[in-house]
Amino acid sequence: MEQRNAGKHPEPPRREDASHMEYMTEVRNFAIRSWFPRIAGDVSSIAAAAGLPPAITRDEFAQLAPQVDQIPAVQGWKRLMRSQQQLAWQKLQDSYAADREYWEGQLTEAEERNRGRLHYDPDFVAPESACQDIHLQPGGYCGDNLAGYVFYHGTRVFYQGDNDFDEIHDSCADVMKLPADGQVRRVLDLGCSIGQCTTALKERHPDAEVRGLDVALPMLRYAHMRATDMNVDVHFHQGLAEDLEFSDGTFDTVFAYILFHEVPKHTFEPIVREAFRVLRPGGTFTVIDAPNADRLPPPNRMWAAYDAQYNCEPFSPAFGAADFTGLLAKAGFEDVEKGSSDSFLYNTFAVKPL
Amino acid sequence: MNTKHDELSRAQVESIGLPGPGEEPHFLPHPLMDRLFEAVIVLGGELWIERDRRRALESLLHSKGIVAPEEIENHSEADTEERKQELSALVNRLLDPLRTMQSESGTAAT
Ligand SMILES: C[S@@+](CC[C@H](N)C(=O)[O-])C[C@H]1O[C@@H](n2cnc3c(N)ncnc32)[C@H](O)[C@@H]1O
């Protein structure tokens, strides 16, 4: 099926890659919708037997973990989750690598076709934190020139087929909080990856100048090619969210979708400060990310612990534990509110005072 | 980027206890069981890829009036070198995880 928002390379290289992704999506669905609910009861019972409340902290779960890990169905669930993820990435990566020159050429060709929209310094060196194999993608976001292609298809599996038309990115762009005066001339998408929110934001604010920023060049090159193919005029910048190149008061609104849980905790504050600085008075900041929740139901805790350690999300637990709204207030933001969310993610909104 | 930043993030990564580079944890009681589990997932993937392709092919052949499903059922093909290689690659992909298990003991997941 043609992916509406995928640019001109909507499908992976071979029919068999598409079949394999379809299979992996089904395996993931099974692990999440069929297997996980069955172990959830056992995990909750262990917590209840230990006298714990219905929602527990990370430390409380750590006490239970040895017992939980004895449950055969928990062991199998973890194996299934990890192998599914590893095998899906590996096949995609091998497929693209088999015709590396062609796929790299496509990125370069887009840069030549649409100049002045991709901004990077060839000497930029990404920090170590951005070079983890996040979600087990081999080489992570920065390690392979073709990482953007692989990420695009790999995340289609991750979203279990619910994002084949960027539905999730579209709905994120829809919830972005607008400045009270309604003026949206410049928009910044922090940690934009392959630019799916960036283009969704531009489609909603066609007269605005929309810029995506990310640390990883392979993601940005793919983002740029995709936006070029889609004929959506946006800019992409390589840089660090905690050290923005833009001058004070540049943007009417700043947006960050699932960036924060993937950065080290010492950068939360600098990133928030930078967002504040580059916003104009009355500008808004929208953050959609993993829950900042001290306490979660025991099965969710188990999943979060699995994710951090075995799905390579090492920074995520610290974000979960952070007082993020407090951090926003400390940076000077007002009207900090946790909005409702229809997914498991939290929407947080803040306004720079006039 | 400065080393201070890298040091802080490294400390945070270390506190999580990620498996080291090239290190594969086992969740089931013995590493061999993890490998077998993975082999089954691989096998399912290979099976689906082939089924999906065959369905496409058979349906094309049928709809173009070239080959009826019964003819496929009764056809026998001469062995080609390429076909043998494909089979050997399949067996490799499937059994390699088990072979790997023989050479590493694996790391017990905590
Ligand atoms: C989960 S992805 C974000 C997904 C994306 N917003 C989307 O719409 O799908 C996290 C991104 O943050 C980027 N990143 C990590 N650390 C960063 C930093 N310090 N500054 C900017 N981007 C960063 C990564 O390269 C990665 O592309």
Q: Residues A268-315: pLDDT tens digits?
A: 999 999 999 999 999 999 999 998 888 999 999 999 999 999 999 999
Tell me the pLDDT of chain A (354 aa) as tens digits.
466 788 888 889 999 999 999 999 999 999 999 999 999 999 999 999 999 999 999 999 999 999 999 999 999 999 999 999 999 999 999 999 999 999 999 999 999 999 999 999 999 999 999 999 999 999 999 999 999 999 999 999 999 888 989 999 999 999 999 999 999 999 999 999 999 999 999 999 999 999 999 999 999 999 999 999 999 999 999 999 999 999 999 999 999 999 999 999 999 999 999 999 999 999 999 999 998 888 999 999 999 999 999 999 999 999 999 999 999 999 999 999 987 666 779 999 999 999
Ligand 1 contacts CB of residue A208 (under 6 A): no
Expressed in angstroms and rounded, the spacing between residue A288 Cα and the centre of ligand 1 is 12
First-to-last C-alpha distance (Å) of chain B: 33
- A128 contact partners, CB below 8 Å, separation of at least 6: B1, B5, B6, B9, B10
Ligand 1 contacts CB of residue A200 (under 6 A): no
Ligand 1 contacts CB of residue A258 (under 6 A): yes
Nearest-CA distance A77 → chain B (Å): 9
- CA torsion through residues A284, A290, A291, A294, sign: negative
Nearest-CA distance A273 → chain B (Å): 17
A128–B38: do the CB atoms touch at under 8 Å?
no
A302 touches chain B (CB under 8 A): no
Ligand 1 contacts CB of residue A257 (under 6 A): yes
Give how far Cα A228 sits from Cα of A7, A122, A204, A206, A223, Å. 8, 21, 17, 15, 8
Residue pLDDT, tens place only, B52-109? 999 999 999 999 999 998 888 787 777 678 878 887 888 888 777 766 665 555 555 6
Q: Whose CA is nearest to atom 12 of ligand 1?
A: A191
Q: Whose CA is nearest to atom 10 of ligand 1?
A: A259
Nearest-CA distance B34 → chain A (Å): 7
Closest of A268, A284, A264 to residue A276, by C-alpha: A284
State the DSSP H helix or E strand holding residue A17, giving kind and residue range, or none if neither.
helix A15-29
B12, B13, B41 member nearest A87 (Cβ): B41
State the DSSP H helix or E strand holding residue A87, giving kind and residue range, or none if neither.
helix A72-97
Q: Is the pTM of this model over 0.80?
A: yes
Return the number of other C-beta atoms located less than 10 Å from residue B99's C-beta. 10
B38 touches chain A (CB under 8 A): yes
- Which residue in this structure is represented by tokens 């099965």? A299
Closest of A332, A331, A328, A330 to residue A349, by C-alpha: A328
Q: What is the DSSP string of A335-346?
A: EEEEE--SSSSE
Expressed in angstroms and rounded, the spacing between residue A291 Cα and the centre of ligand 1 is 17
B27–A78: do the CB atoms touch at under 8 Å?
yes
3-class SS string, chain B? CCHHHHHHHHHHHHHHCCCCCCCCEECCCCHHHHHHHHHHHHHHHHHHHHHHHHHHHHHHHHHCCCCCHHHHHCCCCCCCHHHHHHHHHHHHHHHHHHHHHHHCCCEECC
Give how far Cα A312 sits from Cα of A67, A70, B63, B77, Å. 23, 22, 47, 47
A16, A79, A87 member nearest B28 (Cβ): A79
Ligand 1 contacts CB of residue A256 (under 6 A): no
- CA torsion through residues A175, A179, A181, A182, sign: negative
Closest of A342, A286, A290, A288 to residue A313, by C-alpha: A290
Nearest-CA distance B28 → chain A (Å): 5
Task: ipTM value, please give it.
Answer: 0.88
A322 touches chain B (CB under 8 A): no
A72, A83, A315 member nearest B38 (Cβ): A83
Please state, in angstroms and rounded to a whole number, the distance separating the CA atoms of residues B19 and B104: 14
Tokens of A347: 């929407």
State the DSSP H helix or E strand holding residue A316, giving kind and residue range, or none if neither.
helix A316-321
Substitution target in B2, B8, B9 with the highest count of A β-carbons within 10 Å is: B9
Please answer whether residues A335 and A349 qualify as being in contact, where contact means their C-beta atoms are separated by less than 8 angstroms. Answer: yes
> Which chain B residues are within 8 Å of A125, Cβ to Cβ?
1
CATH number of the domain encompassing residue A207? 3.40.50.150
Tokens of A231: 């004929």
**Chain centroid offset of residue B75 CA:** 30
Q: What is the position in ligand 1's atom list of the atom closest to the CA of A169?
A: 8
CA within 13 Å, CB half, B59: 6
Expressed in angstroms and rounded, the spacing between residue A350 Cα and the centre of ligand 1 is 20
B107: β partners = B25
Return the number of other C-beta atoms located less than 10 Å from residue A208's C-beta. 18
User: Which string of b and e fits A79-114 if b means at least 16 CB within 10 Å?
Assistant: bbbbbbbbbbbebbbebbeeeeeebbebbeebeeeb
Substitution target in A1, A11, A19, A74 with the highest count of B β-carbons within 10 Å is: A19
B9 touches chain A (CB under 8 A): yes
- Region of residue A153 (left: phi > 0; alpha: psi -120 to 50; beta: else): alpha
User: Which string of b and e fits A119-143 if b means at least 16 CB within 10 Å?
Assistant: eeeeeeebbbbbbbbbbbbebbbbb
B5, B34, B45 member nearest A20 (Cβ): B45
Ligand 1 contacts CB of residue A285 (under 6 A): no
Please answer whether residues A31 and A81 qualify as being in contact, where contact means their C-beta atoms are separated by less than 8 angstroms. Answer: yes
Return the number of other C-beta atoms located less than 10 Å from residue A270's C-beta. 17
Number of independent structural domains in chain A:
1
Please state, in angstroms and rounded to a whole number, the distance separating the CA atoms of residues A166 and A203: 12
Containing structural domain, residue A169: 1-354
